Structures are given as C-alpha cells and as structure tokens.
Amino acid sequence: MSNPAAADDAAATALLTVDLDALAANYRILRDLSAPAECAAVVKADAYGLGMAEVAPALARAGCKTFFVATLGEAEELRALLPHSCIYVLCGLLEDTGPLYLRLALRPVLNSAGEVKEWAALAKTVPIRLPAAIHVDSGMNRLGLSASDIETVTAAKELLASFDLALLMSHLACADEPDHAKNETQRKSFEALRQRFPKARASFANSAGILLGRAYHYDLVRPGIALYGGKARRTGDNPFTPVVHLAGRVLQVREAPAGESVGYGATQTLKRPSRIATVGVGYADGFFRSLSGGDGRQGLHVYLGSHPVPVLGRVSMDLITLDVTGVPDALARRGSWVELIGPHVAAHEFAAHAGTIDYEVLTSLGARALRRYVGG
C-alpha cells in the first residue's frame, strides 16, 4: 500500500486508497477455502462502498465468474463492466422488470411463489430456457420462499419445467457466531429443502459461512465482507488482508490551555495544556459522530505516524479534532496525513468503537475523499 503523502493531491482533505491486489488475494483465499465449490463475489452497494467500476473487473481478473448484486440498477451497471459474467439480482423479480432481465441477460433470485410463476410465464414466451435462482427461507424470515410457497411451486411441476433453475440458495442468520445453534438448525433445514429441488446447484454460505466449514459450502459460495478485508466472525483473528485505507489531512495545529473546551457543545474540557490538530474529515465522510470524545468518554484513537492520538470533542460534518500533545512537530503540522482506517485502525475496530459493524463503515464512506486504486 502506498503512503498517502507519496500520492498527494493539493486539494484533497481526505484520501481513500483501495488496494486491488489485497482484494484479489482475499478472493483467492476464499476460493481455496471453498474448493471444490465455485467462489462467487457479492458486489452490491457499489462493491460495499469501494467502487464497483474498479472492484468488479479486478475480481474478474482474479478468476471470479459469478457476481451478486442487490438491485437491477446495480446489475445494469455491472453488466456494462462485465459483458460475459453471470449476474444474479438478490432483490428478485419486481413487477414489469422481466424484459430488462432478458435484455441484459441477468438472473433474478426469485423470492416468492408469485415471482416463480411470473418468471415461468415469461420463460414460455421465449425460445431459450431462462436461468434463475430460487431463494428458500431456512429460518431467517426475511426474503425467500416460505414453506407454503415451496409446496405451491413443487406441486405445479410445469412451473419448474418452464425455466432453468440454475441455483437454489438460502442465507445464514448467525454465521458470524460460529457456535450459534441456529447455524446447524438452518443447515439441516436447507438440506431438507434441497430435496425438493434435487437437480439445482445449491448455495448457502456467505463470508462467515465459508469459515464454518465444508458442510456449508455446497456448490457455490457468496462472500462479501471478507473480500474487502472485513472481519467475517465476531471473535478470533481476521485472516483477510485490509483493502481500505482512509487518511485525513491536518488543516491546523493550535495550542489550548487547560480548562478550555473543544468542539460543538463544549462536551470535552482539556485537563492539561494541549496541542490540538484539526483534520478535514467528518461525518459527511463516514467518520461517525459516535466516534466523538467527551468528558468521561474516550474518542477513537487514530494514528499520526506511529503515534496514537484520540479524537477530542464532537465529530462535526467536515472536521475532527485530535489531541496531538507530545507528537513531534514534524508530524503534527499543517498538511500531514492522519491514518483513520488502515494498518493501525482496522475497519472492524473503527466499527466497534462506533457501536456498529464494518459493513456499515465501508458502505458509509463518503464521496468527498480523493479515491486512489492501487495494484490490480
């Protein structure tokens, strides 16, 4: 990963660096863990906030052939990038969208008996067998065919005969907790449901599901957060390489006496004479307000060189303030870059301090940061 200062831009107050080599390395780890199952990639939400236009082609170059997105709009963007890849759309078959699926050669993930019937009806009007996935609910109670839907679909043999059921899938609710009893309960449920669709390839595991072992892999796995260096499990070490580095620029360094307050609401009072660095990043850039410091509350520690420095006072829309007392002047100066997410501040640690998950961290990164893609 390149040093932000080496890739400097005079106008940038924030620099988001995406390491495409690390992305590809994570894909290869997941592919090898899942073999002989096929390893797909989930690139919804603009590739988890990192930029589909750069991320998806990098994954394709790494060998990925099948991709999942959430919406038709995402699928249309992805098809323009990858004309020959297999693309599944998780939101399913919305009313009157069949012609768009046909035109772009997309595959809907059918989430109800009604969607299955609509796709079957459409398939009868064209001379080719149209592929689709069916999502069955194995206990998450979100999307997917219910037990009654499954009875309806399997009882009407002509429905499944009308199109190519390319994939049967379900989704784990608690895979990030390896010892959670629901994992095995869902696996057994999915195993039983598979018997109703015996000819279809099966897909069950997300990133955390891959780490549960071969019994969860079936024919195709669908990693998301692990591709981007996120921590798929709540506990233990993270075996995946960080892909995202976020740096903020120091705009000003000032001295303030003990007893003065810092930031909006005067929520933090200085207990000693302090040097304060103001950095041009705030909650508009995905640096959450919940990372603020205050009297009786420790703000997130970020890094100026090798020096940990805490956030002082409230995070505002465009600015944060850091306690750089004791940091050498050569580092704590106007124009320096501060590591906000990177080698010292993992995305899951950033998330934990904010009371959220690294999925939300990555997808909340704003559009103002100068983006640089390295490797790939």
Q: Where in the sequence numbering do the catalytic residues fall?
A: 44, 264
Q: What are phi and psi of 238, to 5 degrees?
A: -95, 115
The Cβ-side half-sphere exposure at 166, using a 13 Å CA radius, reads 15
The rounded distance, in Å, linking the Cα atoms of 304 and 332 is 7
Q: Any idea what DSSP says for residue 130?
A: P
The rounded distance, in Å, linking the Cα atoms of 222 and 279 is 38
At position 221, the amino acid (one-letter code) is V
The per-residue DSSP string of 291-350 comes to G--BTTBPPPEEEETTEEEEEES---SS-EEEE-TTS-TTTSSTT-EEEEESSSS-HHHH
Q: What is the dihedral of CA 295, 296, 302, 305, to 10 degrees?
A: 80
At position 48, the amino acid (one-letter code) is Y
Residues 6+ apart with CB under 8 A from 215: 187
**Separation of first and last alpha carbons in the chain:** 12
Q: Which of 276, 263, 365 is nearest to 316 (CA)?
A: 263
Helix (H) or strand (E) holding 87: strand 86-89
Q: Which of 217, 209, 291 is nearest to 248 (CA)?
A: 291
Is there a contact between 206 and 216 (Cβ–Cβ < 8 Å)?
no
Beta-bridge partner residues of 323: 276
Take residue 228 and report the two structure tokens written for it. Answer: 């981007």
- Token pair 């409230």 in the structure block, residue: 314
Residues 6+ apart with CB under 8 A from 342: 1, 242, 245, 246, 247, 303
The rounded distance, in Å, linking the Cα atoms of 49 and 28 is 21
- Sheet architecture: strand order including 107-110: 38-39, 220-221, 202-203, 164-169, 131-135, 107-110, 86-89, 66-69, 41-42
